[in-house]
Structure 1
Amino acid sequence: MMSNKRKILFLQLVFLLAHFFLIFIMLKPYIGIDVQYNNGQITISNIYDNDGWARYTNLTIGDTILEVDNTNVTTFNTLFKHNNCFVHGSSIKIIRNNEIQYIQAPSDSLKDTFQEIIIPSIFSLTVFILTLFIYQQNSKVAFYLTGFLLSVSLSFFASTESGRGDFISNIIVSVFFPLGSLFLAHFIRMLLIEKGIKINWQLFFRINGFICLAIISSKLLTLFFNNDLDAFNTILVLSYFCFNICFSILLLIYFYLATKGSHHEVFLKWLILIHVCAFVPFIFLHAVPFIFRLPYIQDDLAAFTLFIIPIGYTYIVLTNRLIDINFILKQIPYYVFLTFIPTLILTIFVISERFYSGNIILYFIILFLAILTINIVTLFLKERLDFQLKDSLLYHQSFFSKNLNEFSQKLASVMKEDDLENLLLHQIKETLDPKVLLLIRINYKTTEYQCFDFMQNNAESILADSIKLKLRNNHSDILIDHPNYLGIQLYEHHHIGTYIWLSKKRNNTTFNLHEKMWLINIVKYVRLVYENLNIVKNIIATIENRDTTNHQSSNTLTRFLLQLSEQERKRLASDLHDSALQDQTIWYQKLDQLIQNSNTLQKEDLETLNKIKNGLLDVIKQIRDTCSELRPNFLLNTNFTASLEDLCKKKQAKASFSLRYEFQLSNYANNHNLTVSIYRVLQELLTNAEKHSNATLVSIEMWEDNHFIFLDYRDNGVGMDKISEQYNEDHIGLIGIKERIHILDGEIEFITELTQGLQILITIPR
């Protein structure tokens, strides 16, 4: 049994020989006449109005043909009455009214002949070159694809001459036209099997092969013996061809529906699209109307869409990637909707005689202005439609917009660079589903790189030297676009560039425009968050490294930290109140209800439950006090002085010292920063006195004049040796007080000695 490569070579040899023979025939000009035999003479019975060179001469119906290209026509057997001598030729010798005339083909007919050869030759040459690449694969898929492409090419090349009645061309079309459709059915079957899609219809394909052989034999017999079944067999050949094409399309649709949602979905869509675009025009504009005796266009015109076949199928077989057809199919309805009316108007302009004045320049100007105006209006309409109908017509764009919004919400919880990168990689994997997803760091100075493989592939083998070189020479943040992959720089810091690198999608499709734009936009989000994380990191480093006692920090930094602290206090108080406190209260009420309604419990159990209830009540009170300290009442727009007095009352209830206080202040409801700072200063003074002073008496007095607010704190505690500017645990609270007073442009003075107590005088501008 021959190998697949030898079979392909045999088909290519037959293809070349048949084409050389056809070109030899087609180089002779086509005459364009029908003839009939009368008493041993051959006369012209018809002259075609739209084909051949006879229509440009004085040949008439009834002329007797003596010679074609100096060859006596009576020497040919009637079996071959449609042979080459009656179809092609550059000269005819006729007799008319007993007068012999020589008719030469006009020079224009040679141009027509050349044009008739060019397009089929381009098609055939393209097919043959592609089969040379397919030949290297040495598989059944390659053999059937080669057979299909070469058969279709031969049929297309011979179709014009076959329609003109050339005997050899009719033989070629009769053999290779049905054979090509059979090759196609087998190619689809083997390609699906190669892709892992099971299809067990071997008996059907064998029967199909026998039917093909029978149809070819029947058609050849009618050609040789010229019987009345020729028309029937022509219809049979066309019907068989249409059956195989429609069967292939239905087979693909069936398996597309059966495997929808898998990685084969896009691949099967591509096969269906190629079939439909290549064959539907031929079937419904030529074959079906011809079969049912309806008006039809010529086969050579209808077959122009066959150019899709060699390009489409070879693209699938030779490449490992596919253009994202889902993206294309989703865009087509929108563009059809958008361009239908402008196209209709332009068509009316072009075909209407009303706008044509006879002056070609004036007509050009009118047409140019009309097209320009229509395009401008269409662009304005597009902007309007994009805004109003984006969810229905532009689902793809809407999906990516929502995706970006969801991602931006997730970014709010990111606090570290590693978390940011992991979040991005997960989002890319879920949205784009690439085969390979890498995070690459490159040191531009040492040209070393680190590769983190998110998809658990062999990253070292994926990163070719050319890719490494491309990344090392790239310092821009634009998209690195390639049919097989996408790359983009996330950020660059201290000569280290961080890149995202991803291959084509798992369904072998390339990235479409919207996916590329999504990747660019999501990286912009990540860059912004990364910059903010770096700013926060630098601020923290500054705080950690600064000398907190010998150098005064900047007002901006201190204010930022204090505001951040207040926000965290507020958030924590809200979380405690809305979650823990509410849950504790509910359980307390249930426990109390259980105790009140229980008559079966023993006395000891009731006492235990009451202790638990009282303990739970204490916990609730402690949580409420904590919430109150974290978020004081004055933040809820209560009276400022009342909030300070409430703070002192609560502290007195827990402290071991006596607390005297007096506040003579206005209500500073409109100055939030001032009230918060004074409240926190007083809170810290009382906390510090409770923890460190060992005092028995603490007094606080606050008053104001037209320009300043004064605070006088005194206690009879242990005092201090001096207020050193050293940073230690005992001074953390005092340092916080100094920072708050500093950002208010106030002054603070410490008066103290060991065992002599402590006095703090604070002056704050109003």
Structure 2
Amino acid sequence: MVLPISRLYLGDQMKRNSRSAIVFFLVILITICLFMHFTLLILKYPLVGIEVEKVQGKWIIEKIYDNSWANKNNIETGSIVTLVNGIDPAKHQTVVNFKMVEMADSITITGKNSEINTFAISYHDLDLQLIVYLVMPVLFVIFCFFLSLLLYYRKGEESSVQRLILFLLSIGLCYLSASASARTDLTGRITTNITFSGSIVLFIHFLKAYFTGLQLEFIKTRSIKLMNLCYFIVISILLSSLFYVKLYALTKNIELGFVCLLLIFLFTLFARFYFRYKKAEVGGLLKILWVTFFIAFSPFVFLYAIPYIFLGKGLLSAEITAGFLLVIPLAFVYLQLAEKLFDIEFLLGRLRYYSLLAVPFTVVLTIILAWSLKIRLNSGSFYFVLSILFTGSILFLYIKEYTDYKMKHHLFSQKNEFETNLQLYHFFQKAKHSTKVSDFISSLINEIKEVLSVKEVYYVEIQASEDEGIWIVCNKNDYSSDLVSEIEKINWKKVKAGSLLEVRNGFCVIVEEDYQRKNIIFCGLKKYKTDLNIQERIWLETIAYFSSILVENFQLIEGLFQKIEYYKEKRLEEKENYPSWLSKLLFALSEKERANLSNDLHDTVLQDQLQLLREIESIYNKVTDPSLKEALFMVNERLLDNIHLIRETCNELRPPFLKELGLIQSIQNLVNKIKLRSNFILYTELDHSIQKLDPEYELALYRVIQELLNNAIKHSEATEVSISLIKKKQCLMLSYSDNGIGIHMSKLNDSFKTMGISGIKERITCLGGRIKMESKPNDGFNVLIELGLGEM
């Protein structure tokens, strides 16, 4: 029953992957064509930046844009445009359609004093315009393009990744097309109108798919539909304005207003989502996304959109503030590909601290630069310099901290260098693989010899005698009589671990002790019989103190191993249960190994199988021989079954989203999977009033139910199985029954050799629960479990 379902599902998946590959190719092709069109257009035509109005048959300059060619060449408002490209302005397309002088090679202007000047329009002395309107957008698009290719190559089959790719290409095209739109290019304006707000819509679609993959609901379907409807209405209005110039100024505010509303909607959704799941396992991920959103969108909203709506002019240009959107693709590519996420709490704490340090410095320095360069305090240039200096200061502090860490982290101590922290790092890096006290002591002796440049280092055991204050050296024959005499002169009773004592021919320091016994390290004098200096003394005392702690821990671990071996032998001989603490430990280790094995299977075998599947599909599409195609198809089907089996195995090894979904929903998901691959009728009764339990209880109950159902599939030969989990006051009641072939209770397996029925008993017993099992051959199998919750 499993194989046809998996083949059908994965066969449909292959078709979807094929369609997505075609769509991806078309999207990339369109992106490349638009990229080339916009780049060539911007490169050919500088931004003239002149708005005109026809008054009494003359085209009067009404407005000059900042950072434009006209502004750079001191063209004044009120002047008359007499010729564009040597012809009447009324015949120039941009003047007729948009009342703007753009995409021109030359322009003739009659000034206020009736002087006539003809200008050749070029990028001469327009280095800033080239950087802002061409270089930055082109680099942005290229970066987004290659990120998209990387994402598609790594995880192109996932729906969330496909939406992320569309978002990346959308914001890239939006950034570049804005420059073409400013030159009144119709394709550029259409692209900008579609992608400006459309990129945010795509971003919300991506978040929905991304969190759906984590089995979390980010936005309801009806909200998505309403958002899409509003988007298409606004886009229709914006596109219609392209053919009615008088509506353009009004629709500009409509577009910015709609974008601001979308951003508010996005932040509202995310704030609600964050406060709902911030304490779950995805809490760290949500904090990263929260910071990403703020950094990416806040400059555009607060420094351009809001000032433009209310003041008619942004504090910074849209091109500069849009550059912060680059944070979004960087963050999400990291989240999609990284196996891992950084400590956001640490970085946020550092950000607050570094911001406090950077604020006074950047404000004072920006004011000094503004005064020296004659920059107005309320101008866009002032805020631009302030933003750059503030961001640069914070980045500098981060880089400094990271550089200090990396350099100190790898500065292994050499001879005669005794900075305590570096020396300790050096030693414990070499000794971290020790598992026995003897191995660690050997490493410690070698370290002392290397660092202090001494030849004689001994590990001496001393024991208290019956006479008060007298300590005797064990194995006296191993050491010189002078050393034994020196050590036995000392009353070691009051000497603590890490204390350094000087004797005639060297130094002694305790690294292990109890009431009646102490182990010390004797260190002889250095070469040329010189005394230890202060730094050497501090180092030796410190390393001895920390070594004493490690030795004590090693002894505890060795004692634990001995106890485990003792209980193991006792159980084999007397058939007793393990102590509850040992059962918990072994089950915890078992779960850890299961999780590791699941990760290894998912990251290695499963990925190799998926790559092999893609290669077979590629070969299949190239082959024309019908018999060979049929053989490849059968191989492909078997491979699909293996992929399905590996995924199921990973899920069985590690319960998926048990913490996020809760116990009841996780069990329901397990039951649904069992129903698909079992041959019996499964009846379930799950008490949905059971909410948050101790994670140890949740995992144990999930594993017990999983094991019971797996045994039912493999061994019971039952036609009907029932299972229920209910809560009665402060007690959980789990019952299981089937009408299968039953089992001899005396044939149960050892719980730690196989995860059998006896393992279920072991799990429940170590949690203080009670379990009753009844079964006879050909009479089914029944289990009743009671698990007290105490004060939970």
TM range, normalised to the smaller chain? 0.3 to 0.5
Greater gyration radius? 1
What TM-score do you get using the length of structure 2 for normalisation? Answer: 0.45
